[in-house]
Amino acid sequence: MTNKKNIAFAEPYYSGSHKYFADGMVRHFPGKIELFTMPGRHWKWRMHGAAVTLAEMVTNSGVDFDCVIATSLIDFALFKALVVKKLPKCRFYIYFHENQLAYPWSEKDKSPEEKKDMHYGFINFSSILAADMAIFNSVYNKKSFFDNVTPFLKSFPDEKLDGFVDKLKEKSIVIYPGIDEGICDNRKMGDIPLILWNHRWEYDKNPEAFFETLFHIKEKGIKFKLAVAGEERVNAPEIFNIAKGKLKDEIISWGYVESREKYLEMIRNSDFLPVTSNHEFFGLSVLEAASNGVVPILPKRLSYPELFPPDKFENLFYDEGKLAEHLENAIQNKSLFDIAEISKKANSYSWKKCVERFRDILFP
């Protein structure tokens, strides 16, 4: 079914997984979506100022939109207030790729100790309050927000607002983002496995634990090759420079891969993806790799048990502090993993399912 309604999609942080999702929605949704974006940088300023810029883009487009979707790095209440004046019949939806009540802060960021971080959590709260519907990208994301929002609201001196939480829950749902289905026909691992990093080069992905694991298994004489992709950052953790030197004999690729085709070729040649993230509200890069035949090695926390239920994919999960031991065993016992079944599960998070859910809620 194709609809003829006008949809605006406002993305204040057009980079990485946010860009992937926005572009995918435009490409796959059975109806036209007009995309309005800002560059993926200065996330704190986006949460304050993007509402004004994106509201101007939407209202100046001249299109009489029936509904607007914006993602969560925005002051959605302000955005709606600025747009609804010109589009009074429009419905407003916010999509949460992350939430600030459960996001781990960098040790270099002084906002938490200065109590400035509380405002970003409050923006998330007021955003859902203003929205017609809040959509989270995973059950874990939604649960982590609602587990934290009541004590957060009760921390204020008066007018604590926690009585609104039930109203927020009533209009909050989960829709997984779609992935481009991968290929792993007749996939077999090489004698020397290729280990992959395909995350952002940032503290919250815990690259220290990833590379320390590789240093350890190299010292034990276990052979492997290494491909490091993902978005680089200007102030990337120092461990990347250290690892580039210590693992120079193992590295076959280092740095962001501009070409989508070359990136897909890289992950289709990779064997294992050890995941060390301190935060992950969904896991697009993990699913994309798994859909193409890479075996993810996962912690039993965050969104990962939701994506790959441990009762069926027990061999993928390592206990806290046991990643090196688990990876070593995986390399030495490759037959433990049913690559086709892992890929099938990853491919079940398809764009088809995603856009069907969006169609059903946008145009019931």
- Condensed to tens digits (0 to 9), the pLDDT of residues 141-192 reads 999 999 999 999 999 889 889 999 999 999 999 999 999 999 887 778 889 9
Task: Give the pLDDT band of residue 293 (cuts 50, 70, 90).
Answer: very high
pLDDT for residue 240 is more than 50: yes
Stronger pLDDT, 135 or 190, i.e. the higher one: 135
107 DSSP assignment: T
Q: Which residues contact 125 (CB under 8 A, 6 or more apart)?
A: 149, 152, 153, 161, 164, 168
Task: Give the pLDDT band of residue 133 (cuts 50, 70, 90).
Answer: very high
Placement of tokens 């996939």 in the chain? 187
pLDDT for residue 111 is more than 60: no
Kindly report the number of other CB atoms within 10 A of residue 289's CB atom. 27
Lowest pLDDT segment from 105-109, 129-133, 344-348 = 105-109
pLDDT for residue 4 is more than 80: no
- Condensed to tens digits (0 to 9), the pLDDT of residues 39-57 reads 999 999 999 999 999 999 9
* Both structure tokens of 126: 């007021």
Query: Domains of the chain, with CATH numbers?
Result: 7-178+351-362 (3.40.50), 194-347 (3.40.50.2000)
What is the pLDDT, as a whole number, of residue 95? Answer: 98
Average pLDDT over residues 287-301: 97
Instruction: Check: CB of residue 54 under 8 Å from CB of residue 38.
Output: yes
Question: Which residue type occupies 43?
Answer: W
Instruction: Check: CB of residue 142 under 8 Å from CB of residue 136.
Output: yes
pLDDT for residue 115 is more than 80: no
Label residue 282 left, alpha or beta by phi (over 0 means left) and psi (-120 to 50 means alpha).
Answer: alpha
- Condensed to tens digits (0 to 9), the pLDDT of residues 81-105 reads 999 999 999 999 999 999 999 876 5
* Both structure tokens of 157: 């001196």
Task: Give the pLDDT band of residue 118 (cuts 50, 70, 90).
Answer: confident
DSSP-H helix ranges across the chain? 16-28, 43-60, 76-84, 118-130, 139-154, 165-170, 207-219, 239-246, 260-268, 284-291, 304-307, 323-332, 339-347, 351-362
Q: How far is CA 279 from CA 27, 144, 214, in A?
A: 28, 11, 21
